[in-house]
A and B are shown apart, each in its own frame.
Chain A
Amino acid sequence: MPDVQSTVLEFVNKLRKRKIEGSQATAKCTVELLRSVISQQRVPHSNQASALIDAVKAVGEQLVAANPVELAVGNVVRRVLHIIREEDLSLATAAMAGLDLLDASDDDGEDDNCKGVGYSAMSAAVAAAAARSTLRPPSLQTLLEGTPESAAVPYTSSSGADSESKTADKSSITRKLKHDVIEGVNHLILEISGCHEQIAEQAIEHIHQNEVILTLGSSRTVLEFLCAAKEKKRSFRVFVAEGAPRYQGHLLAKELVARGLQTTVITDSAVFAMISRVNMVIIGAHAVMANGGVIGPVGVNMAALAAKKHAVPFVVLAGSHKLCPLYPHNPEVLLNELRSPSELLDFGEFSDCLDFGAGSGSPLLQVVNPTFDYVPPSLVSLFITDTGGHNPSYMYRLIADYYSADDLVM
Chain B
Amino acid sequence: MWRRSASFILDDERRRTSNSPPMADNTTRAPFQNPDAISAYYQTRAAHHGVITSDWLAQAQAAVGGVSGEEHPDSSVAELGKEKTFNVIEEFNGWRKQPDLAEAVAAIRALAAVIRASEASTMMELEIELKKASDTLKSWDKTSISLTAGCDLFIRYVTRTSALEYEDFNSAKSRLLERAEKFGEISCKARKIIAMLSQDFIFDGCTILVHGLSRVVLEILKTAAQNNKLFRVLCTEGRPDGTGVLLSNELSKLDIPVKLLLDSAVAYSMDEVDMVFVGADGVVESGGIINMMGTYQIALVAHSMNKPVYVAAESYKFARLYPLDQKDMAPALRPIEFGVKIPVKVEVERSARDYTPPQYLTLLFTDLGVLSPSVVSDELIQLYL
Tell me, yes or no, whether A143 is within 8 Å of chain B by CB: yes
- Given A140-B315, A291-B363, A330-B203, does the pair A146, B372 have CB atoms closer than 8 Å? no
- Given A140-B153, A140-B156, does the pair A393, B372 have CB atoms closer than 8 Å? yes
- Asked if A143 and B371 make an inter-chain contact with CB atoms under 8 angstroms apart, the answer reads no
Tell me, yes or no, whether A136 is within 8 Å of chain B by CB: yes
- Given A144-B157, A146-B186, does the pair A139, B383 have CB atoms closer than 8 Å? yes
* Shortest Cβ gap from B37 to chain A (Å): 30
* Shortest Cβ gap from B274 to chain A (Å): 11
Chain A residues with Cβ below 8 Å from B201 are 329
Stretch among B95-103, B227-235, B257-265, B374-382 lining the A interface? B374-382
Q: When each residue 298-318 of chain B gets 1 if its CB lies under 8 Å from chain A and 0 otherwise, what string results?
A: 000000000000000001100
Chain B residues with Cβ below 8 Å from A377 are 372
Q: When each residue 110-141 of chain A gets 1 if its CB lies under 8 Å from chain B and 0 otherwise, what string results?
A: 00000000000010001000000000111111
Chain A residues with Cβ below 8 Å from B384 are 140
Tell me, yes or no, whether B24 is within 8 Å of chain A by CB: no
Tell me, yes or no, whether A327 is within 8 Å of chain B by CB: yes
Tell me, yes or no, whether A223 is within 8 Å of chain B by CB: no
Task: Tell which of B203, B316, B378 touches A143, judged by Cβ atoms closer than 8 Å.
Answer: B316
Task: Tell which of A126, A138, A145, A290 touches B370, judged by Cβ atoms closer than 8 Å.
Answer: A290
Tell me, yes or no, whether A206 is within 8 Å of chain B by CB: no
- Asked if A329 and B200 make an inter-chain contact with CB atoms under 8 angstroms apart, the answer reads yes
Please measure, in the bound complex, the distance between the C-alpha atom of A405 and the C-alpha atom of B369, giving whole angstroms: 9
- Given A139-B385, A329-B201, A396-B375, does the pair A146, B182 have CB atoms closer than 8 Å? yes
Tell me, yes or no, whether B86 is within 8 Å of chain A by CB: no
Tell me, yes or no, whether B183 is within 8 Å of chain A by CB: yes
Chain B: residues with Cβ within 8 Å of the partner, total of: 31
Tell me, yes or no, whether A296 is within 8 Å of chain B by CB: no
Chain A residues with Cβ below 8 Å from B363 are 291, 327
Q: Taking CB as reference atom, which chain A residue is nearest B186?
A: A143
- Asked if B374 and A327 make an inter-chain contact with CB atoms under 8 angstroms apart, the answer reads no
- Asked if B378 and A397 make an inter-chain contact with CB atoms under 8 angstroms apart, the answer reads yes
Task: Tell which of B183, B368, B375 touches A138, judged by Cβ atoms closer than 8 Å.
Answer: B368
- Given A292-B372, A393-B374, A396-B375, does the pair A144, B382 have CB atoms closer than 8 Å? no
- Asked if B372 and A140 make an inter-chain contact with CB atoms under 8 angstroms apart, the answer reads no
* Shortest Cβ gap from A139 to chain B (Å): 5
Q: When each residue 344-385 of chain B gets 1 if its CB lies under 8 Å from chain A and 0 otherwise, what string results?
A: 000000000000000000010001111110110011001111
Please measure, in the bound complex, the distance between the C-alpha atom of A291 and the C-alpha atom of B369, giving whole angstroms: 12
Chain A residues with Cβ below 8 Å from B82 are none
- Asked if A140 and B383 make an inter-chain contact with CB atoms under 8 angstroms apart, the answer reads yes
- Asked if B370 and A140 make an inter-chain contact with CB atoms under 8 angstroms apart, the answer reads no
Tell me, yes or no, whether B179 is within 8 Å of chain A by CB: yes
* Shortest Cβ gap from A157 to chain B (Å): 15
How many A-B pairs fall under 8 Å by CB? 63
Task: Tell which of B179, B203, B369, B372 touches A144, judged by Cβ atoms closer than 8 Å.
Answer: B179
Tell me, yes or no, whether B29 is within 8 Å of chain A by CB: no
Q: Taking CB as reference atom, which chain A residue is nearest B367?
A: A138
Chain B residues with Cβ below 8 Å from A122 are 164
- Asked if A291 and B316 make an inter-chain contact with CB atoms under 8 angstroms apart, the answer reads no
- Name A369-398 residues within 8 Å CB distance of B: 377, 393-394, 396-397
Please measure, in the bound complex, the distance between the C-alpha atom of A329 and the C-alpha atom of B160, giving whole angstroms: 38
Q: Bin the interface of chain A by size.
A: 20 to 34
Task: Tell which of A137, A291, A408 touches B382, judged by Cβ atoms closer than 8 Å.
Answer: A137
- Asked if A141 and B157 make an inter-chain contact with CB atoms under 8 angstroms apart, the answer reads yes
Chain A residues with Cβ below 8 Å from B182 are 146
Task: Tell which of A136, A144, A327 touches B183, judged by Cβ atoms closer than 8 Å.
Answer: A144
- Asked if A137 and B157 make an inter-chain contact with CB atoms under 8 angstroms apart, the answer reads no
- Given A138-B367, A329-B200, A330-B203, does the pair A143, B153 have CB atoms closer than 8 Å? yes
Please measure, in the bound complex, the distance between the C-alpha atom of A144 and the C-alpha atom of B315, giving whole angstroms: 12
Chain B residues with Cβ below 8 Å from A408 are 369
* Shortest Cβ gap from A236 to chain B (Å): 32
- Asked if B372 and A396 make an inter-chain contact with CB atoms under 8 angstroms apart, the answer reads yes
* Shortest Cβ gap from A140 to chain B (Å): 5
* Shortest Cβ gap from A183 to chain B (Å): 29
- Asked if A137 and B200 make an inter-chain contact with CB atoms under 8 angstroms apart, the answer reads no
- Asked if B375 and A144 make an inter-chain contact with CB atoms under 8 angstroms apart, the answer reads no
* Shortest Cβ gap from A377 to chain B (Å): 8
- Asked if B186 and A144 make an inter-chain contact with CB atoms under 8 angstroms apart, the answer reads yes
Please measure, in the bound complex, the distance between the C-alpha atom of A145 and the C-alpha atom of B182, giving whole angstroms: 9
- Asked if A396 and B186 make an inter-chain contact with CB atoms under 8 angstroms apart, the answer reads no
Please measure, in the bound complex, the distance between the C-alpha atom of A137 and the C-alpha atom of B363, giving whole angstroms: 17
Chain A residues with Cβ below 8 Å from B156 are 140-141
Chain B residues with Cβ below 8 Å from A291 are 363, 372
Please measure, in the bound complex, the distance between the C-alpha atom of A33 and the C-alpha atom of B379, giving whole angstroms: 35
Of B153, B375, B384, chain A has the most CB atoms within 10 Å of the CB of B375
Chain A residues with Cβ below 8 Å from B371 are 396
* Shortest Cβ gap from B286 to chain A (Å): 12
* Shortest Cβ gap from A370 to chain B (Å): 18
Please measure, in the bound complex, the distance between the C-alpha atom of A105 and the C-alpha atom of B186, giving whole angstroms: 42
- Asked if B186 and A136 make an inter-chain contact with CB atoms under 8 angstroms apart, the answer reads no
Please measure, in the bound complex, the distance between the C-alpha atom of A363 and the C-alpha atom of B161, giving whole angstroms: 70
Q: Taking CB as reference atom, which chain A residue is nearest B154?
A: A144
- Asked if B374 and A139 make an inter-chain contact with CB atoms under 8 angstroms apart, the answer reads no
Chain B residues with Cβ below 8 Å from A393 are 372, 374-375
Please measure, in the bound complex, the distance between the C-alpha atom of A143 and the C-alpha atom of B187, giving whole angstroms: 9
Task: Tell which of B153, B190, B370, B385 touches A327, judged by Cβ atoms closer than 8 Å.
Answer: B370
Chain B residues with Cβ below 8 Å from A144 are 153-154, 157, 179, 183, 186
Q: Taking CB as reference atom, which chain B residue is nearest A400?
A: B378
Q: Taking CB as reference atom, which chain A residue is nearest B203?
A: A330
- Asked if B372 and A137 make an inter-chain contact with CB atoms under 8 angstroms apart, the answer reads no
Chain A residues with Cβ below 8 Å from B316 are 140, 143
* Shortest Cβ gap from A112 to chain B (Å): 14
* Shortest Cβ gap from A408 to chain B (Å): 8
- Asked if B186 and A140 make an inter-chain contact with CB atoms under 8 angstroms apart, the answer reads no
Chain B residues with Cβ below 8 Å from A136 are 382
Chain B residues with Cβ below 8 Å from A145 are 179
Task: Tell which of A141, A146, A330 touches B160, judged by Cβ atoms closer than 8 Å.
Answer: A141
Chain A residues with Cβ below 8 Å from B379 are 137
Please measure, in the bound complex, the distance between the C-alpha atom of A229 and the C-alpha atom of B134, giving whole angstroms: 60
- Name B179-205 residues within 8 Å CB distance of A: 179, 182-183, 186, 190, 200-201, 203
Chain B residues with Cβ below 8 Å from A138 are 315, 367-368
Chain B residues with Cβ below 8 Å from A290 are 370
- Asked if A137 and B369 make an inter-chain contact with CB atoms under 8 angstroms apart, the answer reads yes
Pairs across A and B, CB under 8 Å, 22 listed: A122-B164, A137-B368, A138-B367, A140-B153, A140-B315, A140-B316, A140-B383, A140-B384, A141-B156, A141-B160, A141-B385, A143-B190, A143-B316, A144-B153, A144-B186, A146-B182, A146-B186, A290-B370, A327-B370, A329-B203, A396-B371, A396-B372
Taking beta carbons and an 8 Å cutoff, which residues of A are in contact with B?
Answer: 122, 126, 136-141, 143-146, 290-292, 327, 329-330, 377, 393-394, 396-397, 405, 408
Taking beta carbons and an 8 Å cutoff, which residues of B are in contact with A?
Answer: 153-154, 156-157, 160, 164, 179, 182-183, 186, 190, 200-201, 203, 315-316, 363, 367-372, 374-375, 378-379, 382-385
Apart from A143-B315, A292-B372, A393-B374, list 9 A-B contacts with CB within 8 A: A137-B368, A137-B379, A141-B156, A141-B160, A143-B316, A144-B157, A146-B182, A396-B371, A408-B369
